[in-house]
Amino acid sequence: MTSPMAIASPPGRWMVLGMLVVVRVAMGYQFQAAASAAPWLIGEFGIDYATVGSLVGFYTLPGILFALPGGYIARRVGEKNLLLFGLALMTAGGGISAVGGDFAWVMGGRLVSAFGVVFLFVVMTKAVGDWFQGGERFLAMALFLNGWPVGIAIGLVGQPALAEALSWHWIFLTTGILAAVGLLTMAATFRHPPGYHEEVAAAGRQRLGQRAIALVVIAGLAWSTINSGNIVIISFAPTFLAARGLGPIEAGAVVSLSMWAGILGVMLGGWITGRFRRPVTLAALTVLAGAGAALLFALDTNYALWLTLSGLVGFMGAGVQAALPLEALSAGNRALGLGLFYALWFLGFALLPSVGGWTRDVTGDPAAPILLGVGLLALTAPLLGLFRLLQRRRGAPHVRTVD
């Protein structure tokens, strides 16, 4: 079998990837803005925490409806034009939230930004797939994915300090400024790889066949379960730890360790899996190990150890998972397939954390959401196995074997 690293990627790819990572950092920074500004918004407008939660959720809510047509729109208007349009909406949304005199302006600006982000998710992931091949794709995808949590981490540190020094308006204003930087960078540097237009012309504007749809749906469900499982665990870990007697500062420190460990895990995994002969198998094993560590977090008292290991190991296969739909698609239907992939991710991201809260309300057990998150992480492994099984079947169209 040919090594995954043997497939050559075109020159100039790392500069393009760097630009995509910068934009993804801006996206993560803007996502975090609502949570960072929450104390000031509550104090000024008298809103409750449920409303703050809606403000946070608005950033991904449009994706449920618009991720799939995003692929069709990219075909019509051109990928670069759609990227610039999405960044323009992010810029405008940040400005609207910053200058508004009442909460309706904050919510409206958030929604404007959210529509822009939907298109960026789809087209930027496609760009990574266009530029990188073989094992290098896993490393590139890992670097690309990490832009989001890095942006969140920067927001966690810098946004409250910015609001303290100036006002909460500056939190949203800086999200618009970063988006504008991304817009200018994208306008100056984005391009397709050499031979891209010839490849697309040769492939034609293909529909998604049944086999390709099945592969993308399985990949999308697996991407939804691993991300939603992690979000459920991280979201409910502070209340779980509080019930175990930890103070809010100590609980926050434990949870933050998992986030930083996850960033490191994605990077390590992107480097390792590109050199591993069976990367999908490795991704399944690492997510199972992460689920096991999360289970021990709920059962044992070494909270920091197990939650950190869950983040570190559980996301080592994230680069492989994010690249799976690219393995099932060709140049002619890649945008359409990624729209379907992200629609499933947005749906799970919006619904499954609410199920976590429901388990807490019904059982009265602070560990119940953690156990749900463990189950979602564990479910990812058989979904990856199912993807691999279907991918191996003779006659699967437009599949580049990676395992």
Encode pLDDT of 99-155 as tens digits: 877 888 988 898 899 888 888 888 888 888 778 876 677 788 888 888 888 888 788
pLDDT at 195: 67
Lowest mean pLDDT among 35-44, 53-62, 323-332: 53-62
Q: Which two tokens stand for residue 223?
A: 């991407």
- Contact between 339 and 218 (Cβ < 8 Å): no
**Amino acid in position 297:** F
Position 397 confidence tier, pLDDT thresholds 50, 70, 90: very low
List every span in the chain annotated with CATH 1.20.1250.20. Answer: 4-194, 210-392
Residues 137, 129: Cα–Cα separation, whole Å:
7
The pLDDT value recorded for residue 398 is 44
The pLDDT of 279-303, averaged and rounded, is 90
Exposed/middle/buried for residue 196 (C-beta within 10 Å: 0-12, 13-18, 19+)? middle
What's the pTM value of the predicted model, to 2 decimals? 0.76
Interval 34-50 mean pLDDT:
76
The answer to whether the CB of 115 falls within 8 A of the CB of 127 is no
Percent of the chain with pLDDT over 90: 20
With b meaning 16 or more CB within 10 Å and e meaning fewer, what string describes 100-134?
Answer: beebeebbebbbbbbbbbbbbbbbbbbbbbbbbbb
- CATH number of the structural domain 210-392: 1.20.1250.20
Domain 4-194 fold: Growth Hormone; Chain: A; (1.20.1250)
Q: 284 or 327: whose pLDDT is higher? A: 284
The number of helix segments (H) and strand segments (E) in the chain equals: 15, 0
Structure tokens at 371: 């156990």
Q: Is 116 in contact with 82 (CB distance < 8 Å)?
A: no
133 Cβ neighbours under 8 A, 6+ residues apart: 7, 8, 9
**Residue 337 to residue 333: CA distance in whole angstroms:** 6
The model's pLDDT over 151-188, given as tens digits with 9 standing for 90+, comes to 887 887 788 888 888 888 999 999 999 999 999 988 88
Average pLDDT, the chain: 81
Taking 60 as the threshold, does the pLDDT of residue 5 lie above it?
no
pLDDT, position 332: 67
